[in-house]
Structure 1
Amino acid sequence: MSSSPLSSAEAARAAVAARLRDLMKDAGLTGQELAARCGWHKSKSSRIARGRTSPTDADIRAWCTACDAEEHIADLIAASRTAESMYVEWRQIHRTGIRHVHEQTIPLYQRTRHFRVYASNVVPGMLQTPEYATGLLRRITTFQGTPDDVSDAVRARMDRSRVVRHGDHRFALLLEEAVLHYRVSDDAAMAGQLRYLLAVMGRPNVSLGVIPFGARRTVWPLEAFYAFDDTRVAVETLTAEINVTAPGEVRTYLKAFAELSRLAVRGQEARSRIGEAMDTLG
């Protein structure tokens, strides 16, 4: 199995640091001399060279200029931005609220033709009702301590979810059965959400599978992930979103999705399990 997306993100950052170290060595400079040329404290160049501090675009420009290697600026900035986008903490993504994240990803959703989604914790965003989304985003905002723009964020999430009903998009979604029972909203919102799942299952572009509690596992429960066509996978952890674009890692996630898909029940059996979850609500 390939390395984890987190380790790949760390490796990408380390690769940028290594290239900067090589430029410094090629220029015959010490870290202290480079820092002096850039007007930095001497520890800054050491932190960047060791990969302990991610360089900004301005840092890379200053570093390359100090090494008389301006021709490397564009490539290194691109590599650094790619590395930083692979692992982004939620507190950074949500620092001004949640709404803008949904708005920024609308183009990605619109151009994706085949969505493959595995959910082990909550109903996937594109299938959420406004009431369920409100309860969930309210809890996320409170837990993260980020600005409260829940009402606007829910509207933005609903706008992004139009791809389920409009356009040429196909959705293959797998839910662990526990997702049907996790009460992230009040009982009324949960009931409405489960009813919506029953309704959306009837759409010709939606395949919804439920992985039963008692399924004999060939793949262990994983953190939720969203595959956009065959080119990108977004993995959601407690602290960060990890964006996977390396072809080998994308293939590993698609392989896991195929294995998980074999565990799922669909059609009437899936409907029955959703109905059983509804029966547990007060």
Structure 2
Amino acid sequence: MTNMVPWQQRLSTGTEGIQDEVVRLYQQTRQSKAYLPTMIWGTLQTEAYASVILRHVVEFLGVPDDVPAGVAKRMERQQVLYGGEHRFDVILGEQALYTNVGGPAVMRGQMERLLRDFDLPSLRLGVVPTAAEVGMVPEPGFNMYDDGRVHYELVSTGVDITDPDEIALHIKAFDILSGAACYGDDAKSLIGKALAFWGGP
């Protein structure tokens, strides 16, 4: 089954409500997977980075402006990283480290955050190098929840997939991406290189 709801409908009262939905979803999920080729995963975003992202959403879609409240909820959702009951397998494209969200100061803080949280017991963070050969056609980013639901964020709508056969293909795709990703010290090195690019130490 596939469910599609336009963003302007879902965000008709602003960003806080949907962020609250995501908080509850993450609290209920024990095993989560995420692939983000061009931006930082929301649960690892700094407050400054998230503020820029949600500001763009509000201005692009023309929905009510409650960015501070939406950001506060996104920061609340991040508590699942520290609770010990959840496991997150996250793959970023190397481009995500260089997509300019808010300028060098925001990006420096974001790279520092990635390095600070890199070794959390709840987190397995990989980075697919820009020139890595990946055994599948390029795909947009997606999130998986307990291998039972896949969520895509498209320009105009959010898409949720729950059909088992489609879920199985997403698991296969995630495994292929994981095989192309760097982990451990190699991933840290790529993040450190991006930090230096943004003017960090």
Fold in common (TM above 0.5):
yes
Kindly report structure 1 stretches of 4+ aligned residues shifted beyond 6 Å. none
Structure having the larger proportion of residues in strand: 2
Task: For residue 125 of structure 2, give the secondary structure of its aligned residue in structure 1.
Answer: strand
Q: Residue 230 of structure 1 aligns with which residue? A: 147
Give yes or no for the alignment of 1:183 onto 2:100.
Answer: yes
Q: Which residue of 223, 239, 245 maps to 2:156?
A: 239
1:242 & 1:164 partners in 2: Cα distance? 25
Q: Residue 248 of structure 1 aligns with which residue? A: 165
Q: Which amino acid aligns with 1:277?
A: A
Task: For residue 278 of structure 1, give the secondary structure of its aligned residue in structure 2.
Answer: helix
Q: Which amino acid aligns with 2:176?
A: E
2:179 & 2:145 partners in 1: Cα distance? 20
**Unpaired segments of 5 or more residues in structure 1?**
1-7, 10-85
Task: For residue 103 of structure 1, give the secondary structure of its aligned residue in structure 2.
Answer: helix
Q: Residue 154 of structure 1 aligns with which residue? A: 71
Shift in Å at residue 106 of structure 1? 2.1
Q: Which residue of 256, 261, 269 maps to 2:186?
A: 269
Map residues 1-282 of structure 1 onto 2, 5 A cutoff. 9=2, 86-282=3-199
Task: For residue 134 of structure 1, give the secondary structure of its aligned residue in structure 2.
Answer: helix
Q: Is the 8 A contact 1:137 1:150 kept in 2?
A: yes
2:138 & 2:116 partners in 1: Cα distance? 26
Task: For residue 138 of structure 1, give the secondary structure of its aligned residue in structure 2.
Answer: helix
2:21 & 2:198 partners in 1: Cα distance? 35
Greater relative contact order structure (CA < 8 Å, 6+ sep):
2
Percent identity (aligned): 37
Shift in Å at residue 111 of structure 1? 1.3
Shift in Å at residue 279 of structure 1? 1.7
Shift in Å at residue 105 of structure 1? 2.6
Q: Which amino acid aligns with 2:104?
A: D
Task: For residue 99 of structure 2, give the secondary structure of its aligned residue in structure 1.
Answer: coil
Larger Rg computed on CA atoms: 1
Q: Which amino acid aligns with 2:38?
A: N
Shift in Å at residue 185 of structure 1? 1.6
Instruction: Kindly report the root-mean-square deviation, in angstroms, between the aligned alpha carbons of the 2 structures.
Output: 1.2
Q: Residue 60 of structure 1 aligns with which residue? A: none
TM-score normalized with structure 1 length: 0.68
2:67 & 2:146 partners in 1: Cα distance? 29
Q: Is the 8 A contact 2:90 2:125 kept in 1?
A: yes
The number of residues matched between the two structures is 199
Structure having the larger proportion of residues in helix: 1
TM-score normalized with structure 2 length: 0.95
